[in-house]
Amino acid sequence: MKNLLPEKEYGILKKINTPVKIQDFLDQLKINFEPEGDTVYSPLTVLKKRVCHCVEAAILAALALRVNGQPPLLLDLTANRNDFDHVVALFKKSGKWGAISKTNHAALRYREPIYNSPRELAMSYFHEYLDDQGRKNLRSFSPPVNLKRFDKQGWMTTTEEVDYIPEYLVRVKHFSILTKNQIRNLRQADPIEVKVGKIVEWKKTGKFIG
């Protein structure tokens, strides 16, 4: 791994050698509002620009985990048409699952390694997965996806975009978390939950923040 990555970037990733340190590092990076159109920055590009959205952050987190001896795993959370999908990096500690997450909102953030399965972890996001109308929109999750499947495409070392990773996440099998009857009987979130969900960490300025 050390021979594949540039020395500077390898050194950065080697220093963030725990999930907590990786999460703290991602929290310092600005949110990528994609002012010039959709992007899927590679980890090296994120480290250069110091900006990322959830997918880009998850891919970077997966690489940091790999550099430090853990598998580079992603979990895709899919919403209905009222909301956006979300991607997190997965890790295990003492046999339990946790997640590293980049978001601009108060919810959908880091998960402590206390969950027995990826499904249990995915379900922990359900009541936070709200839109401005208070609708609960999370519908399915993927199995853990190991990014080593993309090693031949150079995802760890390229400065080109790695859009093939989220494209694969869309195609992979997902597991539904609700029945149709459960969906029909969902209660809308309380107004205070919706209010909290509107809190953002980074303000959109209209200028490129890379």
Structural tokens at position 121: 């972890």
pLDDT at res. 190? 97
Domains detected in the chain: 7-197 (3.10.620)
What pLDDT digit, counting tens, does each position of 66-119 carry?
A: 999 999 999 999 999 999 999 999 999 999 999 999 999 999 999 999 999 999
CA distance linking residue 155 with residue 138, whole number of Å: 28
Beta bridge mates, 140: 78, 176
Residue with tokens 């969902």: 186
pLDDT at res. 156? 98
Residue with tokens 């859009």: 163
CA distance linking residue 160 with residue 65, whole number of Å: 21
What pLDDT digit, counting tens, does each position of 15-51 carry?
A: 999 999 999 999 999 999 999 999 999 999 999 999 9
CA distance linking residue 48 with residue 97, whole number of Å: 30
**Confidence band of 208 (pLDDT split at 50, 70, 90):** very low
pLDDT at res. 209? 33
CA distance linking residue 201 with residue 91, whole number of Å: 25
**Confidence band of 2 (pLDDT split at 50, 70, 90):** confident
**Three-state helix/strand/coil letters over the chain:** CCCCCCHHHHHHHHHCCCHHHHHHHHHHCEECCCCCCCCCCCHHHHHHHCEECHHHHHHHHHHHHHHCCCCCEEEEEEECCCCCCEEEEEEEECCEEEEECCCCECCCCCEEEEECCHHHHHHCCHHHCECCCCCECEEEECCCEEHHHHHHHCCCCCCCCCCHHHHHHHHCCCEECCCHHHHHCCCCCCHHHHHHHCCECCCCCCCCCC
